[in-house]
A = this chain, B = another copy of it.
């Protein structure tokens, strides 16, 4: 959607997003206290992203939980479109999906649409995308999905198996809809125009309700899916949406791998992380130490605080202590940033160690795990 103050499409997020407005415009629903409690109860626990309202909006999550309670089950689907290097923000949907998988023990489909960015970015070559694809899959596998319940697939490899369903999907969506939903125009190439069918097709992998953890900017894709699903004999997909992980450079927009100073890459070493955060992290602190001690900082706009709050400081007591000390001026900007630097570096250290050993997990999720084997033996459609 485009608004006087902000813009949210699958390809661009800018301005200060008013999430309440967004939910209304998109026609999704906020996750209220009751629904959150129900999800947490069924999961037998909570997740930071849920507790801190980072995942805040949904479509049919209530029906997914009802299906689960009724024994019908559901399945999970999310994805990653390779192009630039992966950032911390790219892990969010995967981390949350992994948690849901662990709690609900459901099949999980991870799409690697290795044609999307190739089609959408004029200068990106097919070969570059393929290089990135390998790297990205290792990062994803490092997160510890259940490799017998997870099928990770590149569209370019799995195309044959989902081809019939892909064509059935494409037949149901006309240019008028695609244009309205995705903003295509005369200059859009015919691959871009077709692409929505590719992102929608995994929602038809099982005759159960599909739950998609994703950024709210991806919601566009699920609207035509919900219009056509029932006519194809499937469920309207459900989704659970997160807000945008703020770029280092300020609380507006979203972290983007194409603006290097806005992002921490998963491949950044400790020194780079420290430098970037010290240099670029938008601060809610005052101009001088004296002023900061006197007036205090503003955690609501401080990116270091926001990152700790959303992703890196799981302890509710500790994060509130940081908030109040920062607000009061007791904690300086440099101190706050150092907490974040340490947290990120310890996360990335552990992550990259797992990534270095992820080869086998990638192989299982793609080919030899229980679900993967089933999927290679199936035609979809």
A positions within 8 Å CB-CB of B: 115, 118-119, 126, 155-160, 163-164, 167-168, 170-176, 178-179, 184-191, 193-194, 196-197, 381
Contacts and interface: CB of A to CB of B under 8 A. Distances in A.
Contacts of A191: 167, 170-171, 194, 197
Given A126-B381, A170-B194, A194-B194, A175 B187 contact: yes
A380 to B, nearest CB: 11
A118 B171 contact: yes
A189 B160 contact: no
A189 B163 contact: no
B159 A188 contact: no
A92 to B, nearest CB: 28
Chain A interface main SS type = helix
Interface-centre pick from A179, A189, A197 (highest chain B CB count, 10 A): A189
18 contacts: A115-B163, A119-B171, A126-B167, A126-B168, A126-B381, A156-B164, A156-B167, A159-B159, A159-B160, A160-B160, A170-B191, A175-B184, A175-B186, A175-B190, A176-B187, A190-B193, A190-B196, A191-B194
Contact of A189 (B170, B186, B189, B381): B170
Contacts of A187: 174-176
A33 B126 CA distance: 45
Contacts of A184: 175
A185 B178 CA distance: 12
A352 to B, nearest CB: 30
Contacts of A119: 167, 170-171
Given A168-B126, A171-B118, A381-B126, A190 B185 contact: no
A190 B191 CA distance: 9
A343 to B, nearest CB: 40
Contact of A193 (B155, B158, B159, B193): B193
A257 B260 CA distance: 59
A21 to B, nearest CB: 29
Nearest to A187: B174
B190 A173 contact: yes
Given A156-B163, A160-B160, A163-B159, A190 B174 contact: yes
B156 A175 contact: no
A208 B381 CA distance: 36
Interface-centre pick from A115, A174, A190 (highest chain B CB count, 10 A): A190
